[in-house]
Amino acid sequence: MAHHADSSKANQNPLKDARVGGIWRLGRKIGSGSFGDIYKGVNVQTGEEVAMKVESAKAKHPQLIYESKLIKHLQGAPGIAQIYYCDAEADFNIMVMELLGPSLEDLFNLCSRQFTLRTILMIADQVLDRVEYLHSKNFIHRDIKPDNFLIGRVNGPHQSVIYMIDYGLAKKYRDPKTHQHIPYRENKNLTGTARYASISAHLGSEQSRRDDLEAVGYVLMYFCRAGTLPWQGIKANTKQEKYHKIMEKKMSTPVEVLCKGYPSEFATYLNYCRQLRFEDRPDYAYLRGLFKDLYIKEGFDQQDASFDWTPKLNARNAGLGHSTDRLHGHCTQEPRHWSRREQDRLAPGRSRDASKNQLAVGNGNMVNPSMATNPGGVSVMAPDRGAGEAAAQANLETQQEKDEIFVSNLPQRPEQQTLPTFGMQQSVALGIVN
């Protein structure tokens, strides 16, 4: 009984009956970010629904004001949520922003943890565009994962747009005026989500643009492999031990093994990212081109903007927004699987061209990770119906497991203490004005 009481208390509205900014009313909790909780809210004057991110003003490392300034700096580009308001209310920092649809993780579950190659390539194109845009604005994200990419509101005009969210761990990697890159450092604690973190981040290197892109590669392979990466489900006594084991598994799994049975473009992508040096500017057009060319080569319809989940959402007229509400068991149609054409192309045993597996560590010295691997821990099944179901079933044992975010030694941001309200003065202090 106590458990239910605690759970109810955890979901209570911290600002019941309050009017945030005089016009927004806080509703039910719909999710959590890297810092703070997310609630659905409503503009009491217009009836427009919004997302409201709430953080205790007494938090040891308050992040919401910082995040709101960064999102304000990013406004105006596709896939960036609109921000309406951010300020302190009572004992909370509150940010009001555009209400979005479900995350890629939610949609993956809606599709029975099976995406077609076509949808994965469409995801890659938009996600890489969002990452490049963030980098062009002098910041890196440092927590790339399916949960941090949401589609536009269901049945809205931007339902086919993928949005990047949760900038609580984002960091400026270069001076906005001189473009002087931050210095390379070692012995850093892991920041981000272990499942998708780059090997360099695991090794304690300061993160840069290359790390965001390597994480994108792991997200894409997560989708290709029906939600089962070789380093998922690892057990350990402590978080540090777990992260170390995840790192060892990543380093000992050759890219060619990770990507076996899938188009060589995925291995080419990951090898390119791993070979980047700390300060290198990635060739984003080349990386997007890998997947665009594959899309064309496969003969997919370039005029069709629908994803695997589109008919499911439209049929259900789902009212999901900006949340981590899971969709397990809510699928009303048969799950879509890899097409016969895709199955033929991806049959196991077909040779794949992939460059030598090398990893750039430190300031760019090239080393070859150990080629040792545990074949039993790596799925190399062809993505046909039976293999997909087997992989999905195996993943049921671990999908509830959360790869915890481990954050320490957060960068000091004195502007948070000196600039408590939203405005251009804050942006200047933050160093994000071009």
Cα dihedral sign, 195-356-300-378: negative
Residues whose CB is less than 8 angstroms from the CB of residue 369 and which lie 6 or more positions away in sequence, other chains included: 199, 251, 252, 254, 357, 359
Annotated binding site for ATP: 53
Does the pTM surpass 0.85? The reply is no
Residue 11 has pLDDT above 70, yes or no: no
Task: Give the residue-averaged pLDDT of 220-240.
Answer: 97
Concatenate the DSSP letters of all residues of 312-339 into one string: HHHHHT----SS----TT---SPPP---
Sheet holding 92-98, edge to edge: 19-20, 24-32, 37-43, 49-56, 92-98, 83-89
Q: Are 142 and 171 in contact (CB under 8 A)?
A: yes
**What are the tens digits of pLDDT across the range 42-100?**
999 999 999 999 999 888 888 898 999 999 999 999 999 999 999 998 889 999 999 99
Q: Which helix (H) or strand (E) holds 125?
A: helix 117-136
Task: Spot the catalytic one: 37, 143, 308, 403.
Answer: 143
Q: Are 348 and 380 in contact (CB under 8 A)?
A: yes
Annotated binding site: 53
Please report which confidence band the pLDDT of residue 269 belongs to, taking 50, 70 and 90 as the band edges: very high
**Which residue ranges form the domains of the chain, and what is each CATH number?**
24-41+50-98 (3.30.200.20), 102-314 (1.10.510.10)
Annotation marks residue 143 as catalytic: yes
